[in-house]
Amino acid sequence: MSSMVVTANGNDNKKFKGDDKMDGAPSRVLHIRKLPGEVTETEVIALGLPFGKVTNILMLKGKNQAFLELATEEAAITMVNYYSAVTPHLRNQPIYIQYSNHKELKTDNTLNQRAQAVLQAVTAVQTTNTPISGTTVSESAVTPAQSPVLRIIIDNMYYPVTLDVLHQIFSKFGAVLKIITFTKNNQFQALLQYGDPVNAQQAKLALDGQNIYNACCTLRIDFSKLVNLNVKYNNDKSRDYTRPDLPSGDGQPALDPAIAAAFAKETSLLGLPVAAVPGALSPLAIPNAAAAAAAAAAGRVGMPGVSAGGNTVLLVSNLNEEMVTPQSLFTLFGVYGDVQRVKILYNKKDSALIQMADGNQSQLAMSHLNGQKMYGKIIRVTLSKHQTVQLPREGLDDQGLTKDFGNSPLHRFKKPGSKNFQNIFPPSATLHLSNIPPSVAEDDLRTLFANTGGTVKAFKFFQRDHKMALLQMSTVEEAIQALIDLHNYNLGENHHLRVSFSKSTI
C-alpha cells in the first residue's frame, strides 16, 4: 500500500513519501498519522463526516497513516481547527491530523478498491439521508453499518435533562461534535454525534439502560440511521461544537452564560459528572438521592430523589402584559412545581419573578416552558439573580402585582409520593383531565374547552374510568391557554377539574 501511485499538484506517478510538515498551507487533503493498526476505512472517513462531504481516502496501513480529502478547503480548515483544540482518538488512541502538501488526491483505484467501496457506501448513505435542520428530524431507511450518531430517548423524565447535561455525560466516551434535542411523540429525545463511530459504540454499551438520576431519567440509546447532523443554530435545543459562530436562531435563545454556569453548579450538586471508569458501566445515580427521598417521605417540600438546592427564582420575560396575571403564571408554572410567590415587575410589566419550592422544580419549569407561547407571545424563562421574591411592604399597594401562594391548596406536589410526580410532561396539545363528575358528558367538556378560544380536535374518556379523559386542542398554545383557564374549574357536585399535559395522543 505504501507504494500506491498518487497524483498530486499535477505530478503523475509520484510515489508517496509522507508529509513531514506539521503546519502546512490549508488544503482540502488532510494527512492523518499515528493510526491504530486495526483501524478501518469507515472509522477514518467518520472523522471527516461532521465537517462536510468526504470525497476521497487513501489508507497507508503499513505506515499507520491515511489521507482524507474533503469536498472543500473550508471544511478541511474547520476540521483541523476543531481537532487542534480537541485531540481526536480512534480506538482509544490519540491520532494527529494536519494539512497535506497535496491539493487533491487521486488514487489508483485498482490498488485501493476496498477504501473506495467503503467511501461509495458512506456517500450513498449521506445523499439518501435527509439532513436535520434545527430541531426538525427525519431519518432515512438506509442504515450504515455503524454510525457516529446516537439516538437517545429519555424515559421516566421527572427532572430536566438539558443539552448541557447530555454533553457532560456523553463526552466521557469521546469528543461530542453535535447535539440536537427535540420532543417527539411527547418524549424528550436527542441526536448526538461523535467524531468516531467507535466512541458512539462505547457510549451505547456503557449508558444504554442507565438512569441519570435515581430511579428516573432512563437513557434508551440506539444508533441513528443518520451519519451526519446538520445543525443550523447554537442554542438550548441544538449545538454544533465545531461551529461556535452559528446564530442562535429565532424563538430559541442561546443559553445565557450565567444560566449555564448556574446549571453547571446545580448539576454538580446532583452528582454529575459521570465517574470515568474505563470499561465499567458508570452509575449515573445521585449519591445523596436516598437521603433526599427519605426527607421527601418525611413530608418536606421538594421532589423525590433529588435534594433541594440551587436558585429557586425564575425570571420570565416577553410576557403579554395586557393578559398576564400572577394567577395565570401560578397555574402554568404549577404544572412543574409548587409556586411559592409571583411578582410582575412594576416598571417592566412584561417580566415577572416566580419563586418555586426548590431549585430542581425551577430547573424543570425552565426546561419545559422556555420558548413556549403564552397569550400570543413566546416567553423566555431563565434563572434570576434574586434568591427570593420579596413581598411588598405592609400598607404599600402594588396593584396586585405580587402574590404569595405558599399556602395555596392547589399545589400539585405537596403530598409525598403523589402520582403527580410520575405525570410531568412537556407542554403538548393533548391534555389529561381528571376529577370529572358522572353527570358531565363529552359535549359538555368539548364546549367548555372551546370557550377558551381554541378548537377541540379530539376527545376520549378513559375506558375504565370516566372520571378521566384526554382532550386534544389544535395547538400547544391553545392547550396552555385552556389549562390556565380551566385547571380547578368547578364542574359542580364538589368536583374541581384537574388539567395537566399528557404524553399520549388521541
Among residues 382, 408, 434, the one where a domain terminates is: 408
Q: Rounded distance, CA 138 to CA 364, Å?
A: 27
Residues 13, 16, 17, 19, CA torsion sign = positive
- Is residue 259 left, alpha or beta, with left meaning phi > 0 and alpha meaning psi from -120 to 50? alpha
CATH number, domain at 372?
Answer: 3.30.70.330
Domain enclosing residue 70, as ranges: 29-116
Residue 251 in domain = no
Same domain, 386 and 429: no
Contacts of 368-372 with C-beta under 8 Å, sequence gap 24+, read: 368/160, 368/335, 368/336, 368/426, 368/427, 369/332, 369/333, 369/336, 369/427, 370/236, 370/253, 371/236, 371/237, 371/251, 371/252, 371/253, 372/427, 372/476, 372/477, 372/480
DSSP 3-state assignment of 419? helix
Q: What is the pLDDT of residue 108?
A: 64
Residue 176 in domain = yes
pLDDT digits (tens, 9 = 90+) for 164-221: 889 988 988 888 999 999 988 878 999 999 988 888 887 887 788 888 876 678 899 9
Same domain, 323 and 403: yes
Residue 434 in domain = yes
Q: What is the pLDDT of residue 377?
A: 95
Peptide bond into 438 cis (omega under 30): no
Lookup result for grid cell 389529561? 432
Whole-angstrom Cα Rg for the chain: 27
Largest CA distance in the chain: 93
Among residues 219, 240, 261, the one where a domain terminates is: 240
Mean pLDDT for back-to-back runs of 10 residues, the chain (506 residues): 38 41 76 90 81 86 92 88 79 88 77 67 49 36 60 84 88 88 88 88 82 79 90 91 82 42 36 30 32 31 36 93 96 95 94 91 87 94 90 82 94 77 85 95 96 96 91 96 96 93 88
Which helix (H) or strand (E) covers residue 211, if one does? strand 211-213
The structural domain count of the chain equals: 4
Q: What is the pLDDT of residue 215?
A: 64
Residues 24, 26, 32, 34, CA torsion sign = positive
Q: What is the pLDDT of residue 484?
A: 97
Q: CB–CB of 126/142 below 8 Å?
A: no
Same domain, 401 and 425: no
Q: What is the pLDDT of residue 242?
A: 86
Q: Rounded distance, CA 504 to CA 502, Å?
A: 5
Give the other-Cβ count within 10 Å of 406's Cβ: 13
Q: CB–CB of 193/242 below 8 Å?
A: no
Q: CB–CB of 99/80 below 8 Å?
A: yes
Return the C-alpha cell found at 280: 465499567
Same domain, 435 and 493: yes
Q: What is the pLDDT of residue 27?
A: 94
Q: Enumerate residues 6+ apart whose C-beta is below 8 A from 485.
A: 452
Among residues 203, 221, 240, the one where a domain terminates is: 240
Residue 415 in domain = no
Q: CB–CB of 332/286 below 8 Å?
A: no
